[in-house]
Amino acid sequence: MKHPDAHSHHLEHTEVFKLLEVDPQQGLSDAQVASRREKHGLNQLTARGRRSEWVRFLMQFHAPLVYILLVATLVTAAMGEWVDAAVIFGVVLVNAIIGFFQESKAEKSIEALSRSVKTMAMVRRGGQKVEVASEELVPGDVVLLQSGDRVPADLRLTQVKDLQVDESMLTGESVPVAKQSKVVAQETILADRKNQGFAGSLVTYGQAEGVVWAIGDRTEMGRVATLIHEAVNLSTPLTRKIEEFSKVILVGILALAALAFAIGILRGNTAGEMFIAAVAIAVGAIPEGLPAAVTITLAVGVTRMARRRAIIRKLPAVETLGSTTVICSDKTGTLTENQMTVRQVFAGGLRYEITGTGFEPKGQIEREGAAADVHANVALADTLRAGLLCNDSQLRREGTRHMAQGDPTEVALIVAAAKAELSGETEKEQRPRLDVIPFESQHQFMATLHGVEAQKHRVIYKKGAVERILERCTTMLDASGNEQPLDADAIRKESDAMASGGLRVLGLARRHVEESHGELHHDHVKTGMTFLGLQGMIDPPREQARDAVAKCQQAGMLVKMITGDHVLTAKSIAQQLGLRGGDGAEEVVAVTGHDLKQCDDEQLADIAQRAAVFARVSPEEKFRLVKALQSRGHVVAMTGDGVNDAPALKQADIGIAMGITGTEVAKSAADMILTDDNFATIEAAVEEGRGVFDNLTKFILWTLPTNIAEASILIAAIFVGIALPALPVHLLWINMMTAIFLGTVLVLEPKEGDLMQRQPRDPKTPILTYPLFMRTGLVSLTILIGAFWLFYWELEVRGLPLNEARTIVVNVIVVTEMFYMLNCRSLTHSMWAIGVFSNKWVFVGIGCMVVAQLAFTYLPVMNKLFHTAPISGEAWLHILAVGVIAYSVVGFEKWVRFNRLKEKV
């Protein structure tokens, strides 16, 4: 195999096949694929532009609060306090290392998750159609494209059927390009090479076959080094709030330190002493563990979501999920099983029942409870035959099971025909397909042209929405096979009866044409068709979806079904799922796309709020629905899988694409991808999103009182005119060790049981609401009074050495943090209510913290490094008493506030 040059657009496709040494009907063999992969490598672009490890490590120091600590390190060292300087810098370094590794872990986790949703391509290999990951393509592979696919490599198109491709990412052209297979001149510019498909472009319409000419870095996308890389952005609305919060803290810290420095100088202290005091205040007030906690919490949240089959592509979705108020969901495959089963057939004026469920062809066709003779009703046999032949899907036997490949609706038609003992292989041999008009959402039908064995005519079979089929029929087939005048009203009545029972109804028709018909165009199926019959199928609701819908509605979220199905079918499924309208009414309000077209924006917003089902909705109407709901202040999550869903997915606050059935267009527009296409996964992701925000709030609520109290203790000492109760190294020890051993266990706290019983959080609400802000002040005051009083008592009344009194202060703060952490495990409930042992890491963290504090207090080397001293058992009793008081005060505050809330409810 050899390439004559870098391009193929000026070559006949027969010459391309020859150069690539491939038979277009058979495709490559396994041996050829293996040989070419070894030579050319994988079909992927070389990653570029990633920041080096060193740059990412140095960026950990790029924060205003860290700058203060670095300045404090330099000045403390200049004053000769080498141990203090080393400890301060050591804490900064440890924090940077933790942040670096956690960020690396988060990035690698997200990259791995992104890779798990692979782009797939349909190829012909060894004479069989197979689906492979696009990265496994090699030059010479024969690729089959259809609407919604991303072109997986640079292709020379060899067969084209109404193909249009969006190449804007490569050429800048905003309008999709119509493609063809004919040769173009060698000097033709890239944008005008109509016979090529370029890697990364999107098929918006039609079908085609093409042969892979270039892969990876050899593609046009690779030549211009335009690597589409899913950048990991760890900045979310929440982290931006925390950054703003940090700036406020920074200003407050500098102001307090300057005030304390000035007061000390006025009281006659030296500048060196007061600088140490100012450094201590700054060190005490800085929440050093906060950046690491945010990174860890987001990483844990993304990982937990992935375990529950929700892949986050854009991290802001983690926070926004917790605020979602409306979920607009597709029906098929998301709320339902996506295993369609034909239950009823109407043909020749008679209705038949079909037994059996799912894709296993087990069951029979019955009439009034008895097995029916299918061939006794010509219209019935041809209705089933039309569904079998006007079909792009397959049902294959693998071992003891039958596996579906393609559209579940089409597979259901194949299964129904099999139950009537119509063999797919035999029928296709007797009536080989010659051409096709593929299904497109704007047409709502598919048509195929077939030769008929031993007859001098050809037949067109057509299937689609009942109304679209009826408006193009002039006659109908009776049970004897004779054509009769079309009774459209009777057929509509039967269709409505099926739909009202929750069935999705397809109409089927045929038309005999002359043998000279070699191609099929829309003009051939506009009129003159003969109606054959109806097939009504059901896709039962997922059991998990029923429970998930109930949980979402209980959590204050509206669930709305948007579907292309008939309004009666959709309404029936919605009732089975228990959907309710925006006003809480049990009756399901259902509207159609036609109804929405008649509404102005204000009327649409009212309908969008009230209705639970939207049927036969166009892409434009989906987009308008999202905007209408957002105009009423809703945070909207929208699911989708098709090309036509992309505008609505982009407009939604959370775009959710289907990982299994979703097109590449939908996945590219989405913030989150469901690997199982299950609505229950959306509910799980919302729950995880709420849990992420809940745990971050708990950490902030836990760490702030300590920082405020530490600064307050030092300022109080300066005002009173006594020695500092703690040194900078003491406060750094407290902040970092408690963040590692105690704070980390809070971000690992399991979700609380009532998360999905709460109303959605308003995104405008601050991190700390007024009640939580007041609790922060209450705990800070408790620590301040307890620590300062014990310091004054031990130093001034009992006359203990300064180092011993300071050691007691450090232990008071740490022990109080331990007790307070137990209360922070829930923002509203006590530790006993959520389960003492529901988070076993709490006790591991406390155990490690106790060991660390005993070493800090009694080991000689620690005494020397941190200027501490052993303390008595009596002192420990006083320390524990302060911790118990702090726990009791917060517990009482929770009890009062929680009982008030219950009384109001």
Catalytically annotated residues: 330
| Rounded CA separation 549/555 (Å) | 10
Nearest to 355 by CA among 301, 420, 289: 420
- Residue 792 neighbours by CB under 8 Å, 6+ apart: 722
Helices (H), 198-337: 220-223, 237-266, 271-285, 290-307, 316-321
Give 477-536 as a 3 state SS string: ECCCCCEEECCHHHHHHHHHHHHHCCCEEEEEEEEEEECCCCCCCHHHHCCCEEEEEEEE
Neighbouring-strand partners of residue 345: 352, 535
| Rounded CA separation 437/448 (Å) | 6
Cα–Cα separations (whole angstroms), residue 245 to 292, 587, 746, 767: 15, 46, 20, 9
| Rounded CA separation 394/342 (Å) | 16
| Rounded CA separation 596/607 (Å) | 8
- Residue 59 neighbours by CB under 8 Å, 6+ apart: 51
Nearest to 219 by CA among 251, 197, 241, 187: 197
Pairing mode, strands 473-477 and 483-485:
antiparallel
Cα–Cα separations (whole angstroms), residue 638 to 56, 118, 572, 596, 600: 35, 22, 21, 18, 22
| Rounded CA separation 155/592 (Å) | 41
- Token output for 634: 């809703």
Sign of CA dihedral 535, 540, 541, 544: negative
| Rounded CA separation 849/740 (Å) | 9
Cβ neighbourhood burial of 37 (10 Å; 0-12, 13-18, 19+): middle
User: How many of the other CB atoms lie within 10 Å of CB of 191?
Assistant: 12
Helix (H, G, I), strand (E, B) or coil at 414: helix
Nearest to 508 by CA among 464, 459, 443, 460: 464
DSSP state of 566: -
- Ranges of beta strands (E only) in 277-399 are 310-312, 326-330, 341-347, 350-354, 365-367, 370-371, 394-398
Q: Are 202 and 644 in contact (CB under 8 A)?
A: no
Helix (H, G, I), strand (E, B) or coil at 73: helix
Cα–Cα separations (whole angstroms), residue 280 to 265, 284, 711, 725, 732: 16, 6, 8, 10, 9
Which residue pairs, CB below 8 angstroms and at least 24 apart, start in 446-454? 446/390, 446/392, 447/390, 447/520, 447/524, 447/525, 448/389, 448/390, 448/391, 448/520, 449/513, 449/517, 449/519, 449/520, 449/524, 450/389, 453/429
Instruction: Name the percent of the chain in helix, strand, coil, to the closest 5.
Output: 50, 20, 30
| End-to-end CA separation in angstroms for the chain | 77
Amino acid at 825: R
Helix (H, G, I), strand (E, B) or coil at 181: coil
